[in-house]
Structure 1
Amino acid sequence: MIKVTLVKSANGILKNQKANLEAMGLHKIGNSRTFVDDACVRGKIAKVSHLVKVEEA
């Protein structure tokens, strides 16, 4: 399991990056979600790696 936290604002980012944040349920700075560590989630994180912090949960 991995914990993903939004640490930077989503203002001014590309549409596909915004869509990835929405799909992961990250709306406001400080929001966190826990996911199963698989390729799909890792791909989404890679697209927005400059906006999120990833930790082992």
Structure 2
Amino acid sequence: MATSSFSREFVLSKEAAEIICEELDKQTESYVPKKDMHEELKKGEEVFKRLLPHL
């Protein structure tokens, strides 16, 4: 398997290509955000309303 980048060409052995393909096919854990964005937006809206009560 051969692939190229902007300045180099890489040639992989069949075994290396198979290992890479196996790793890419593995299932990964779903991303779980550290913060609840709806809750963060709600907090921001409350702060905004408190700072600018005339709006």
TM-score by length of 1: 0.26
Which of 1 and 2 has higher RCO (CA within 8 Å, sep 6+)?
1
Computing the radius of gyration from Cα coordinates, the structure with the larger value is: 2
Taking structure 2 as the reference length, the TM-score comes to 0.27
Give the helix-richer structure, 1 or 2.
Answer: 2
